[in-house]
Amino acid sequence: MDFDVSDEMQTMLAMITSFVDDEVIPLEGEFLHGTPEELAKQVEVLQGKVRQMGLWAPNHPVEFGGLGLSMLDHGLVSEALGRSPLGHVVFGVQAPDAGNIEILHAHATPSQRERYLRPLVAGEIRSCFSMTEPETAGSNPTLLATTAVRDGDDYVVNGQKWFTSSADGAAFAIVMAVTDPEAPPHRRASMIIVPTDTPGFNLVRNVSVMGHAGSGHASHAEVIYQSCRVPRSNVLGAEGAGFAIAQERLGPGRIHHCMRWLGIAARSLEMLCDRANARVIAANGETLADRQVIQHWVAELDAEIRSARLLTLHAAWMIDTVGAKAARDEIAGIKFTVANTMLRAVDTAIQVHGALGVTDDTILSYWYRHERAARIYDGADEVHKTSLGRRLLGQAASR
C-alpha cells in the first residue's frame, strides 16, 4: 500500500484548500440566506477562477476536458472540496454529474459522448440520475416498477421516481427502467438517457428535506415519466445491463461521498475547536476548551476521523489497483463507518456551539439536515453491514 502523495498533487491540494478557505467558504452566507439567482452568479465567477487556475473537473477524463485523476488522488481532492457544500460545484465535480460522467465515459456510444458527456464535463449542462422510487425498496433495485417498453425504434418510459437529485435545471436524466420483465432479476433493467425536455418528463416537485425543498443543483425531485418516448439508441451500454452499470457507478461513487464526508468532519472538528477555545464560560476567563469533557470529545473525534480516512484511502487504493469488484468489502466498510463518523462530528460540533449550533448562522445546521441521509442513500447502513458480515462469515466457514 502506497499512499504517498506526489509533489504535483500536494501542490494541487494546497491550491484547492486555499481557494476553498479564501473564496468558497465566504460564499456560504449567500448559500444559506441569499437568493438562488445571486448565488448562481457568484458561483459562476468562482468557476471562472477555477478554470483559470487549470483545476476544472479534476477527476474527469482528460480527453473531455478534465484532469483524469486516479481514484486515490480524486479522493484527496474531494476531501478538500467537502469542507464546503459549494466546493464540488465550484470545481465541476458535483454529484450526480460526477457519477454520470463516469458511466457515460465507460458505456456511452461516440455520439452519446459528444452530445451529453462533453458538455457535461465542460459544465455547460447538468444532469440527474433517476433510479429511486417511492413505492419500491431502494435497497433492492431488482424490484423497480418503472418500465421502458419497446415501440418500434423507441422506448416508451412510464413510472414514478423521487430523490432524483438535481433534476431541477438538468438537461437530461439517466433513468433506470425495466426493459425485460421476463429476464432474470439482475438483467431486467436498463439505463436510458432521457432529455428533460422530452414530452412526458414531468418534474412534479422538489421534495422538501427537513423543511427545505432547495432549488437547482441543491434539490431532490419527484419525477413522473408519462408515456415518455425516446429513441432506443439512448440506451447506455447493453439492454439489461442497468443493474451491473449501477453497481459499477456506486462503488467509486462511495469513495467520492466518503472523502467529501471526511472534509465535512474535518471542518466540523475545526469549528468545534475554534468555538471551544473562544467561548468564555466563567468570570476567571475559563473557556469550554478547559473542560475535560470537551478535550475527550476532541481526542475521540480526531482519532475516529483519522481512522475513517485511512480506511477510505485504502479502499480508493484498492479500486485503483484491483478494481471496484475486488474491493467490495472495503467499499462496504467505509460507507457505514465514514457516514457515522461524519454525523458524530457534526452533532458534537453543534453541541459545543450551543444555541448557535442549531441556527443557520453557521453551516453546521445545514449539514445536520442534509447529511443525515448519508446513512440511507447508496445503500442503507444495515444493507452494507449485512452484506459485509455475510461474506466475512462465509469466508470464515470455508477455511
Give pLDDT tens digits for 358-390.
Answer: 999 999 999 999 999 999 988 899 999 999 999
Task: Please answer whether residues 232 and 240 qualify as being in contact, where contact means their C-beta atoms are separated by less than 8 angstroms.
Answer: no
Q: Residue 351: count other Cβ atoms within 10 Å of its Cβ.
A: 14
Task: Please answer whether residues 50 and 92 qualify as being in contact, where contact means their C-beta atoms are separated by less than 8 angstroms.
Answer: yes
Query: CA dihedral defined by 215, 81, 248, 314, rounded to 10 degrees?
Result: -150
Give me the architecture of the 127-237 domain, per CATH: Beta Barrel (2.40)
- 63-92 mean pLDDT: 92
Is the pLDDT at 1 greater than 70? The verdict is: no
- Gap between the Cα atoms of 127 and 330, Å rounded: 29
Q: Which fold has domain 7-94?
A: Butyryl-Coa Dehydrogenase, subunit A; domain 1 (1.10.540)
What average pLDDT does the structure give for the chain?
Answer: 94
pLDDT in tens, 319-330: 889 988 899 999
User: What is the pLDDT confidence band of residue 71, given thresholds at 50, 70 and 90?
Assistant: confident
- Gap between the Cα atoms of 6 and 121, Å rounded: 25
Enclosing H/E stretch for 253: helix 242-278
pTM: 0.94
Query: To the nearest whole percent, how much of the chain has pLDDT over 90?
Result: 86
Task: Please answer whether residues 236 and 112 qualify as being in contact, where contact means their C-beta atoms are separated by less than 8 angstroms.
Answer: yes
pLDDT in tens, 205-250: 999 999 999 999 999 999 999 999 999 999 999 999 999 998 887 7
Domain boundaries defined on the chain: 7-94, 127-237, 244-397
Please give the span between the terminal C-alpha atoms of the chain, in angstroms, as a whole number: 26
* CATH number for the domain running over 244-397: 1.20.140.10
- Gap between the Cα atoms of 120 and 98, Å rounded: 9
Is the pLDDT at 252 greater than 80? The verdict is: no
- 144-148 mean pLDDT: 97
- Gap between the Cα atoms of 55 and 16, Å rounded: 8
Largest CA distance in the chain: 81
pLDDT in tens, 274-305: 999 999 999 999 999 999 999 999 999 999 99
**How far does Cα 361 stand from its chain's mean position?**
24
- 3-10 mean pLDDT: 86
pLDDT of residue 255: 86
- Gap between the Cα atoms of 346 and 128, Å rounded: 27
- 124-149 mean pLDDT: 93
**Count of H helices and E strands in the chain?**
13, 9
Enclosing H/E stretch for 81: helix 71-81
- 130-153 mean pLDDT: 92
Task: Please answer whether residues 196 and 172 qualify as being in contact, where contact means their C-beta atoms are separated by less than 8 angstroms.
Answer: yes
pLDDT of residue 378: 83
Return the minimum-mean-pLDDT range out of 6-15, 18-27, 134-143, 288-297.
134-143
**How far does Cα 196 stand from its chain's mean position?**
21
**Side chain identity, residue 219:** S
- Gap between the Cα atoms of 113 and 100, Å rounded: 11
Task: Please answer whether residues 11 and 67 qualify as being in contact, where contact means their C-beta atoms are separated by less than 8 angstroms.
Answer: no
The three cell numbers of residue 346 are: 457534526
**Which residues are CB-contacts of 122 (< 8 A; sequence separation ≥ 6)?**
57, 64, 65
Q: What would the DSSP string read from start to end of 286-297?
A: -BGGGSHHHHHH
Q: Does the bond joining 181 to the residue before it have cis omega, within 30 degrees of 0? A: no
Is the pLDDT at 258 greater than 70? The verdict is: yes
pLDDT of residue 104: 95
